[in-house]
C-alpha cells in the first residue's frame, strides 16, 4: 500500500509539471502577440438587444423582419377598421328590425324607415319594387318566391361586403410562421458559415446568428397569433350579423305575405233592375 501511495504521488507531481510546462510557453506567446486570454467566458462582439440584432442582421433576415412587422401592422389596422364596421352594422340592422316588428305592412315599414339607409331599407325597397312589377298577378306564391329571391341576393351581397379584409388576416395567420421559419433557417446558415470561416465554435461567433434566427421566429409568431385570433373573432361576429340579416329578410317576407293575403275593400253589390221592379 505504501508503494502504491508513493507511486500515485509521483505520477500526480509529474502530471502537474507537464501541464505547467505546456501552458506557460503558450501564455507567454499569447502575451507577446498582444492577445488577452479569456478564461471561462467569451466576449461577444455585437449588441444582442432586439434593435442591435436587427441592425447587425443579414439583409435577408432584415427583409424578413420588415415584412413581418408590416404584416403585424396590417393585422391591427384591419382589426380596428372591421371592428367599427361590424359594430355599426349590427346596431343599424337591430334598430331597423325593431321597427319592422311594430308595423303591419310594407308601406308602413317604408314610411317608418324613410329617413334611414341600410340593409333593411334595401329589403323593403326590393319588396315594394317586386310588388309593383307583379301588379295584376293572381299567383301569390310566385310573387313571394320572386321577392324571396331578391332578398336572398341582397343578403348575400351584404355578407360578401362585410367579409372584405378578413381574408388578409387568414393569409397572415397561415404564412407568417413559415416566413419567420425562413428567417430562422437563414440565420442558422449564417452561424454555420461563421463557424466555418473562423474555424472555431466560440460563443462570440455562433451567438449572433442564432440570436437573429430566434428573433425572426419571434416576429413570425407575433404576427401570426394575433391574426388567427382576430380572424376567429371576426368570423363569429360576422356570423351573428348575417343571422340578423336573415331575421330581417324573414320579417319583410312576413309583411309581404300579410299584404298579399289582406283582402281589398269589396265594392258594393248592385241588385239587378228586374228584381228591383218586381219588388
Blockwise average pLDDT, block size 10, the chain, 279 residues: 48 44 41 42 54 73 89 95 94 90 85 84 90 80 89 92 91 92 84 73 68 84 94 94 92 88 51 47
Task: Quote the pLDDT of residue 244.
Answer: 92
Are the beta carbons of 238 and 191 closer than 8 angstroms?
A: no
pLDDT recorded at residue 196? 75
Nearest to 45 by CA among 207, 164, 175: 207
Q: Give which of 112, 111, 110, 117 is closest to 93, Cα–Cα.
A: 117
Q: What angle do CA 131, 136, 140 make, to 5 degrees?
A: 60
Contacts of 213 (CB under 8 A, 6+ apart): 61, 183, 184, 185, 186, 187, 188, 191
Burial category of 147 from C-beta neighbours within 10 Å (exposed 0-12, middle 13-18, buried 19 and up): buried
pLDDT at 22: 39
Which position has the grid cell 368570423?
Answer: 235
Q: What is the pTM of this model?
A: 0.70
Per-residue pLDDT at 222: 92
Amino acid at each position: 500500500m505504501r508503494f502504491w501511495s508513493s507511486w500515485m504521488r509521483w505520477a500526480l507531481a509529474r502530471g502537474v509539471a507537464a501541464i505547467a510546462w505546456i501552458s506557460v510557453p503558450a501564455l507567454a506567446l499569447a502575451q507577446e502577440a498582444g492577445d488577452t486570454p479569456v478564461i471561462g467566458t467569451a466576449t461577444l462582439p455585437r449588441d444582442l438587444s432586439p434593435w442591435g440584432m436587427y441592425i447587425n442582421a443579414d439583409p435577408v433576415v432584415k427583409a424578413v423582419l420588415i415584412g413581418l412587422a408590416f404584416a403585424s401592422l396590417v393585422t391591427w389596422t384591419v382589426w380596428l377598421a372591421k371592428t367599427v364596421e361590424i359594430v355599426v352594422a349590427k346596431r343599424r340592422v337591430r334598430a331597423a328590425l325593431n321597427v319592422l316588428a311594430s308595423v303591419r305592412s310594407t308601406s308602413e315599414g317604408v314610411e317608418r324607415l324613410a329617413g334611414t339607409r341600410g340593409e333593411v331599407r334595401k329589403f323593403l325597397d326590393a319588396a315594394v319594387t317586386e310588388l309593383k312589377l307583379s301588379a295584376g298577378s293572381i299567383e301569390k306564391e310566385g310573387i313571394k318566391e320572386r321577392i324571396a329571391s331578391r332578398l336572398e341576393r341582397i343578403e348575400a351581397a351584404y355578407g360578401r361586403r362585410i367579409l372584405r379584409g378578413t381574408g388578409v388576416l387568414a393569409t397572415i395567420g397561415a404564412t407568417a410562421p413559415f416566413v419567420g421559419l425562413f428567417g430562422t433557417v437563414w440565420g442558422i446558415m449564417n452561424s454555420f458559415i461563421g463557424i466555418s470561416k473562423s474555424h472555431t465554435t466560440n460563443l462570440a461567433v455562433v451567438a449572433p446568428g442564432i440570436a437573429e434566427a430566434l428573433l425572426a421566429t419571434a416576429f413570425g409568431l407575433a404576427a401570426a397569433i394575433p391574426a388567427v385570433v382576430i380572424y376567429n373573432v371576426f368570423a363569429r361576429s360576422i356570423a351573428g350579423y348575417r343571422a340578423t340579416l336573415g331575421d330581417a329578410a324573414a320579417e319583410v317576407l312576413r309583411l309581404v305575405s300579410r299584404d298579399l293575403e289582406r283582402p281589398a275593400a269589396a265594392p258594393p253589390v248592385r241588385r239587378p233592375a228586374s228584381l228591383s221592379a218586381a219588388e
